[in-house]
């Protein structure tokens, strides 16, 4: 336990992520898929408010009625995993303000879980290291560990093994999310593993060098093809973004969100404001400019 005084309340803001590169190497004996991915945290954020509950109860509320606040929610799963790991019986009330679209490939649930581990570690004065929290997070969800290595990391295994990666410059992106969401499990059921997988070497080099045009050319996601078959709006959004002259565009994660890499902030703002007029028949639930780097941040 830490000797520092623990706060009674805490507010954290936690970012979304995009996959600049995602290759599927094959199915593992545990049922998951072996992956290689270059992930980037962006400043589209959820926020979580934590307060102590002296009864020992863990509870979650959310401003989005469609999101379940039951024990299957990754916030509560992370909290329970932290209690099991440490043996504490402390309680907490958590309120989630949800801004990251769900079923969109943006990692909102995993980001919320990571923020929960950080927040409760401070609220309960546990004194665990980031490495400890990342290891607990890996038991909750495959992408949770990334948010402890953010803003950029090369992720392997089922996504839980992370290697922090240097960004040569900040990136300006446009995020566009069709109305239709997608099930990650469903997309993986339809993915076809290549006998000659992409390596990701060139895009990692481009990110480190800050070479936006090379980065745009090297964007890759093995899940994009099956996702576009299940949700044609993804391809429509992607083609529309490409037609606006961006450095590159790609679906993130298992979809349905698409992002564009822009050369500067003004281009990102122009593309975000123009996209609706280019594809008026494709309704979007989110479209805006975003910036990376981003990390989990907060104040007492």
**Residues noted as catalytic:** 17, 143
State whether the Cα torsion 198-199-202-204 is positive or negative: positive
* Size of the chain, expressed as the number of residues it contains: 300
C-beta of residue 80 within 8 angstroms of C-beta of residue 133 = no
C-alpha span between 74 and 186 (Å, rounded): 19
| Closest listed residue to residue 250, CA positions, set 276, 282, 216, 281 | 216
CA-wise closest residue to 48 among 124, 6, 133, 108: 108
Longest CA span, the chain: 58
Distance CA 206, CA 218 (A): 8
Dihedral sign computed on CA atoms, order 136, 29, 202, 175: negative
């Amino acid at each position: 336990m830490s000797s520092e005084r623990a706060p009674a309340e805490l507010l954290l803001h936690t970012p979304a992520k995009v996959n600049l590169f995602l290759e599927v190497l094959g199915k593992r004996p545990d049922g998951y898929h072996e992956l290689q991915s270059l992930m980037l945290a962006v400043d589209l954020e959820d926020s979580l408010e934590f307060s102590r509950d002296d009864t020992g109860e863990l509870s979650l509320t959310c401003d989005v009625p469609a999101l379940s606040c039951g024990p299957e929610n990754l916030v509560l799963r992370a909290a329970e995993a932290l209690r099991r790991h440490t043996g504490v019986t402390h309680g907490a009330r958590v309120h989630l303000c949800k801004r990251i679209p769900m079923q969109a490939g943006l990692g909102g649930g995993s980001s919320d879980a990571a923020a929960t581990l950080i927040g409760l570690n401070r609220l309960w004065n546990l004194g665990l290291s980031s490495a400890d929290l990342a290891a607990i997070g890996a038991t909750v969800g495959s992408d949770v560990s990334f948010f402890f290595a953010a803003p950029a990391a090369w992720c392997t295994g089922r996504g839980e093994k992370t290697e922090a990666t240097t960004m040569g410059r900040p990136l300006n992106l446009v995020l566009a999310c069709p109305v239709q969401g997608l099930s990650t499990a469903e997309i993986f059921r339809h993915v076809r593993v290549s006998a000659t997988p992409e390596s990701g070497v060139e895009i990692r080099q481009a990110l480190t060098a800050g070479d936006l045009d090379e980065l745009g050319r090297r964007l890759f996601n093995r899940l994009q093809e099956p996702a576009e078959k299940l949700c044609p709006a993804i391809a429509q959004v992607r083609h529309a973004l490409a037609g606006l002259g961006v450095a590159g565009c790609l679906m993130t994660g298992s979809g349905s969100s698409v992002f564009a890499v822009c050369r500067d902030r003004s281009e990102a703002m122009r593309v975000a404001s123009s996209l609706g007029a280019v594809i008026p028949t494709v309704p979007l639930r989110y479209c805006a400019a975003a910036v990376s780097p981003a990390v989990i941040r907060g104040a007492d």
